C-alpha cells in the first residue's frame, strides 16, 4: 500500500501543524485573545440578527458581503482614513485573507519575504500556497534586538526581490510597531512586490503610533490587514479583513471559494460593527494592564519589550520552556514563542494580570529560572 508521505507534496512532508495549546487553566494568556466577553447588548443584537437571517439559510449568502464591507469601511474611516467599501476585502479570519493574497500573488516560482521573529503563520501560509519563503532579519547595530529600520528593511527587500513582503505593525510576538518610513522604504525597494502590513493589533497601539492605512493613496501594491478577533473580542467569529486598491481587491475574487463568508458570519460581524464603541470599551483597560506588566517586570529582574499590542514579550529567563512549565503548574498559560530566554504573555483582566505577576514572582525567586547567559 502506498505510504501517505509518498502522496503528499514534498514541501509539506515532515511539517507540524500550527496550534497554540488549548488547555483548561485558571488564567489563559497565550493566544492574545480579549479576556472580556462580548457585552450583553451586543449579544442581544447578534442573536436578533442571526434570527432574522436564519429563515433564508436555504439560499447562498451575499457573495460580495456588501453590507459588511460598508460597515468595515465606515469603521476604518473613524480613524480619519478615507477608505471606501470597494477597497475592503474580508474572509474567515485574517489568516484566510493572507491565504487569498498568497494564492493571487504568490505560488510556484514566487517568493515572500518576512522579517522574523514575526507572526509564525506568515511562513506557514506561504508554504502551503507553494510560495517560497525568504527569512529576513530584525535587529540593528546599536538598536534593539527586535527593531527594523528603513535602511536594513529596504536592503533586504531589494536583495530578495520578492513577490510579497510581510510587515507586522505592531509585530507579533515582539509587540513593536514600525515607522511609516519602513513601509515606504520597503515599498520602493521591492517594485514587483505586494507589500502587506499586518495590523492585527493596531487598536492597542500607543498614542501617536501611525497606521499604514494613511499610505494607501497612490500605492496600488500596498495592503493593510486587520482583524475583529482582538480589540473587537470576536475571535470566535472568525472575521479578518484588508484595505487596498480596488483593483487588487478585485483580483482576490479569482481565488476565494464561492460564497466564502457565510450568512451567519456576515450577520454577526455587521451587528458587532454597529456597536463598535461598546466592543472597544475594553481596549483602554487592556492597554493599562499591558503597561502594568511592562513596568512590573524589571522589578523581577526580567526584560520586557515595550509593546504597542495587547501582549508583552519578556526576556531574562535562563530556560524559557522550563519557565513556561513552571507558570503552567501555577495555573497560568503563556506562550513559548521559540525565542531563547523569552516568553510572551497576553494582557488580560486586572485579576488575570495579578495572578500572572504573582506566579512569575514565585518563579523567579528560584535562581535557576532567571538570568539568560
Mean pLDDT of 23-46: 96
The alpha carbon dihedral of 291, 293, 294, 300 has a sign of positive
d(CA 146, CA 116): 9
C-alpha to C-alpha distances, 177 to 152, 202, 217, nearest whole angstrom: 16, 9, 21
pLDDT tens by residue, 249-304: 999 999 999 999 999 999 999 999 999 999 999 999 999 999 999 999 999 999 99
Nearest C-alpha neighbor of 162 from the set 126, 195, 131, 193: 193
Average pLDDT over all residues of the chain: 94
Q: How far is CA 295 from CA 36, 116, 173, 236, 314, in A?
A: 23, 26, 18, 31, 11
Task: Identify any residues that bridge with 115 across adjacent strands, giving them in sequence order.
Answer: 136
For 72-128, how does the pLDDT look when each residue is reduced to its tens digit (9 = 90+)? 999 999 988 899 999 999 999 999 999 999 999 999 999 999 999 999 999 999 999
Structural contact between residues 77 and 210, judged by C-beta atoms closer than 8 angstroms: no
pLDDT at 368: 66
Which CATH number is 20-36+282-369 given?
Answer: 3.90.1150.10
Of 289-293, 318-322, 339-343, 362-366, the least confident: 362-366
- Domain limits, the chain: 20-36+282-369, 40-275
Rounded Cα distance, 283 and 271, in Å: 19
Which pLDDT band, with edges at 50, 70 and 90, does 14 fall under?
Answer: confident
What is the rounded distance in angstroms from the CA atom of residue 127 to the CA atom of residue 133? Answer: 7
Q: Are 32 and 230 spatial neighbours (Cβ–Cβ below 8 Å)?
A: yes
- CA 252 to CA 334: how far, in whole Å? 35
| Grid cell digits, residue 324 | 513556561
Grid coordinates given for 317: 529567563
User: Residue 146 corresponds to which cell in the numbers above?
Assistant: 527586535
The confidence band for 370, taking pLDDT boundaries of 50, 70 and 90, is low
CA distance 100 to 253: 9
Say which residues have a Cβ less than 8 Å from residue 137's Cβ, sequence separation at least 6: 115, 116, 152, 156
Q: How far apart are the first and last CA of the chain?
A: 51
Query: For position 142, what pLDDT does the model report?
Result: 62
Per residue in 331-356, pLDDT tens? 999 999 999 999 999 999 999 999 99
Q: How many CB atoms lie within 10 A of CB 245?
A: 18
Ranges 23-27, 109-113, 211-215, 287-291: which has the least confidence: 23-27
Whether residue 145 has pLDDT greater than 90? no
- Which residue do the cell numbers 528593511 mark? 153
Q: At the top level of CATH, which class does the domain 40-275 belong to? A: alpha beta
* CB distance 338 to 349 below 8 Å: no
Model pTM score: 0.94
CA proximity to 126, closest of 146, 100, 148, 152: 100
Is residue 1 pLDDT above 50, yes or no? Answer: no
Cα 151 to Cα 153: distance, rounded to the nearest angstrom: 6
Q: How many helices (H) and strands (E) does the chain have?
A: 13, 12
Residue 5 confidence (pLDDT): 77
Q: What is the pLDDT of residues 181-192, one digit of tens each?
A: 999 999 999 999
Amino acid at each position: 500500500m502506498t505510504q501517505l508521505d509518498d502522496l503528499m507534496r514534498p514541501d509539506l512532508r515532515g511539517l507540524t501543524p500550527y496550534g497554540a495549546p488549548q488547555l483548561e487553566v485558571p488564567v489563559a494568556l497565550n493566544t492574545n485573545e480579549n479576556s472580556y466577553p462580548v457585552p450583553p447588548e451586543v449579544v442581544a443584537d447578534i442573536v436578533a440578527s442571526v434570527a432574522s437571517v436564519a429563515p433564508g439559510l436555504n439560499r447562498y449568502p451575499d457573495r460580495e458581503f456588501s453590507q459588511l464591507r460598508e460597515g468595515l469601511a465606515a469603521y476604518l474611516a473613524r480613524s480619519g482614513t478615507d477608505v471606501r467599501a470597494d477597497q475592503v476585502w474580508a474572509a474567515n479570519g485574517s489568516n484566510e485573507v493572507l491565504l487569498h493574497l498568497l494564492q493571487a500573488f504568490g505560488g510556484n516560482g514566487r517568493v515572500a519575504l518576512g522579517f522574523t521573529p514575526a507572526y509564525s503563520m506568515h511562513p506557514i501560509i506561504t508554504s502551503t500556497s507553494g510560495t517560497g519563503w525568504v527569512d529576513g532579519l530584525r535587529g540593528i547595530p546599536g538598536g534593539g534586538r527586535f527593531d527594523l529600520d528603513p535602511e536594513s528593511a529596504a536592503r533586504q527587500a531589494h536583495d530578495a526581490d520578492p513577490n510579497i513582503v510581510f510587515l507586522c505593525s505592531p509585530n507579533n510576538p515582539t509587540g513593536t510597531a514600525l515607522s511609516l518610513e519602513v513601509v515606504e522604504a520597503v515599498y520602493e525597494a521591492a517594485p514587483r512586490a505586494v507589500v502587506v502590513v499586518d495590523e492585527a493589533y493596531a487598536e492597542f497601539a500607543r498614542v501617536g503610533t501611525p497606521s499604514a492605512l494613511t499610505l494607501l493613496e497612490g500605492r496600488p501594491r500596498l495592503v493593510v490587514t486587520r482583524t475583529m478577533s482582538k480589540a473587537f473580542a470576536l475571535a470566535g467569529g472568525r472575521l479578518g479583513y484588508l484595505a487596498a486598491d480596488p483593483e487588487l481587491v478585485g483580483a482576490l475574487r479569482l481565488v476565494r471559494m464561492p460564497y466564502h463568508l457565510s450568512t451567519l458570519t456576515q450577520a454577526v460581524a455587521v451587528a458587532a460593527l454597529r456597536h463598535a464603541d461598546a466592543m472597544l470599551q475594553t481596549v483602554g483597560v487592556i492597554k493599562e494592564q499591558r503597561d502594568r506588566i511592562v513596568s512590573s517586570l524589571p522589578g523581577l529582574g526580567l526584560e520586557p519589550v515595550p509593546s504597542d499590542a495587547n501582549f508583552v514579550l519578556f526576556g531574562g529567563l535562563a530556560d524559557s520552556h522550563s519557565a513556561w512549565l513552571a507558570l503552567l503548574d501555577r495555573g497560568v498559560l503563556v506562550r513559548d514563542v521559540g525565542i531563547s530566554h523569552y516568553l510572551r504573555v497576553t494582557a488580560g483582566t486586572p485579576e488575570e494580570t495579578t495572578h500572572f505577576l504573582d506566579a512569575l514572582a514565585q518563579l523567579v525567586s528560584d535562581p535557576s529560572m532567571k538570568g539568560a547567559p
